[in-house]
Amino acid sequence: MGNHLHIISFDVPWPANYGGVIDVFYKVKALAESGVRIHLHCFEYGRRPAPELDGLCESVHYYRRHTGQRQLFLKKPYIVVTRESEELIDNLLRDDFPILYEGLHTCLTLPDERLVERHKVVRTHNIEHHYYENLAKVERNPFKRYYFNIEAEKLKRFEKVLCNAQGVAAISQADADALTDRYPDVRHITAFHPNNEVESKVGRGDHCLYHGNLEVGENNIAALYLVRRIFSKTRIPLIIAGNRPSGELKAEVAKYPNIELRVSLATDSIHDLIRNAQVNVLPTFQATGIKLKLLAALFMGRHCVVNSPMVDRTGLEALCRVEDSDRRFIEAVEDLFARDFASSDIERRQAVLLSKFSNSAAAEKLSAMLFQN
């Protein structure tokens, strides 16, 4: 008959086109393919119900997320209290199946006395208060910066709710290390993603690429860094691909003929850019979780140049050129832009990625946490 499982998702996980929902969707897919019968619960706030989920799940339920200014002044984090639903509780109480909570966002019901006998595991995508602290550091809008700082304080206090879970599935080893002394049964379960094999092409591409949601402050800062500090110093072409770039980024890109901005691309178009790039350049200034765009670049692209925060304790360090000074970053880009990507490079990637970042292996580890006899 197969094991039944409730999964509570912070968003509708289709289309799987940004970091958090990529992990959720491909987790659902991998668990379903392993025989788990999934009852998926999704909070809606802009993304429509997705019939694509029906074929993977035993049942799919949607709940409205209650966004508004009033929730900003409550003691619990905004990302949590806006996902309150008595209907969700009612659906969970219809059986005694284990529950997987996707992120602190969904954990409002975790300490509910009505669920005290249930087996509950929380998937953490970040150390959330660290993530919000870092968002505040790069945010220039005073209201948003204030919100991020207040939310970080609330999330730090709220994190203690994890004591009510039987297990925590951390997305990165660094996060697992940070949580392991505070909460029961913390395990590293790596990110789920759309790649089953390394698709990198041998030879050379004709551009470098940075991709990401440019509306996110962290990605905007990384893109500005690449424009101002790296590609303004070389003639090598750079494509920056992502949604909703800032006016500041548009103005900076316009100054340099070797830099191009491409916006509102479909996922397939982003993947084509990754595959055809000679070098994927992926600096970050926020070392939280694991960046799924890095996995995409390694599974599909050629050479990869990053800085230390992008790969810290990910197990991916050996597959990238890791440089932290502007000069060394530029030198790495120029060196790799002139170097063919070889079949030996692909073999080295396969050895690491298929052993450490297999969806089926991650699903097996997660099932061991969820279905304990």
What string of DSSP letters covers 326-364? HHHHHHHHHHHHTS-B-HHHHHHHHHHHHHHS-HHHHHH
Which domain covers residue 312, as residue numbers? 208-356
pLDDT at residue 72, as a whole number: 86
Residues 185, 216 within the same domain: no
Q: Report yes or no: 220 and 204 within 8 Å, Cβ to Cβ.
A: no
Question: Do 18 and 100 share a domain, yes or no?
Answer: yes
Residue type at 175 in one-letter notation: D
> What percentage of the chain reaches a pLDDT higher than 70?
99
Between 217-225 and 128-138, two packed helices, what is the crossing angle to 10 degrees?
A: 50
The pLDDT value given to residue 171: 93
Residue 373 confidence class, pLDDT cut points 50, 70, 90: low
Pair 270, 345 in one domain: yes
User: Which range among 94-103, 135-144, 356-365 shows the weakest confidence by mean pLDDT?
Assistant: 135-144
Residues 50 and 154 in one domain: yes
In a domain, 201, yes or no: no
Query: In terms of domains, do 246 and 115 share one?
Result: no
Euclidean distance between the first and the last CA atom of the chain, given in angstroms as a whole number: 16
The structural domain count of the chain equals 2
Of the ranges 4-8, 100-104, 168-172, 314-318, which one carries the lowest mean pLDDT score? 314-318
One domain, residues 76 and 213 = no
pTM of the model: 0.91
Q: Is 199 within the bounds of a domain? A: no
In a domain, 133, yes or no: yes
Kindly state whether residues 188 and 89 are assigned to the same domain. yes
Tell me the pLDDT band of 367, cut-offs 50, 70 and 90: very high
The answer to the question of residue 88 being in a domain is: yes
Q: Tell me, yes or no, whether 202 lies in a domain.
A: no
Residues 146 and 173 in one domain: yes
| CA 106 to mean position of chain CA atoms | 16
- State which amino acid sits at residue 30: A
- Is 162 found in the same domain as 30? yes
| CA-angle at 320, arms to 249 and 26, nearest 5° | 80
Is 198 within the bounds of a domain? no
| In the predicted structure, residue 1 carries a pLDDT above the cut 60 | no
Task: Work out the mean pLDDT of the chain and round it to a whole number.
Answer: 94
For 139-184, write each residue's pLDDT tens digit: 889 999 999 999 999 999 999 999 999 999 999 998 999 999 899 9
Give CA separation, 117 vs 96, 100, 164, 167, 184, in Å.
Answer: 8, 14, 10, 14, 16
Q: Are 342 and 202 in contact (CB under 8 A)?
A: yes
Domain annotation covers residue 189: yes
Please tell me the predicted confidence (pLDDT) of residue 264.
Answer: 87
Residue matched to tokens 């005694």: 96
Tokens of 275: 């595959």
pLDDT at residue 344 above 80?
A: yes
Q: Which residues contact 86 (CB under 8 A, 6 or more apart)?
A: none
Mean pLDDT is lowest, of 52-56, 72-76, 124-128, for 72-76
Residues 158 and 266 in one domain: no
| 200 in a structural domain | no
* CATH number of the structural domain spanning residue 153: 3.40.50.2000
Question: What average pLDDT does range 26-53 have in this prediction?
Answer: 96
Return the SS3 of 266.
coil
pLDDT average, residue stretch 350-370: 94
CA distances to 24, 108, 365 from 371, in Å? 18, 22, 10
Q: Are residues 236 and 128 in the same domain?
A: no
Q: Are residues 147 and 217 both part of a single domain? A: no
Mean pLDDT computed over 351-373: 91
Tokens of 309: 């925060």
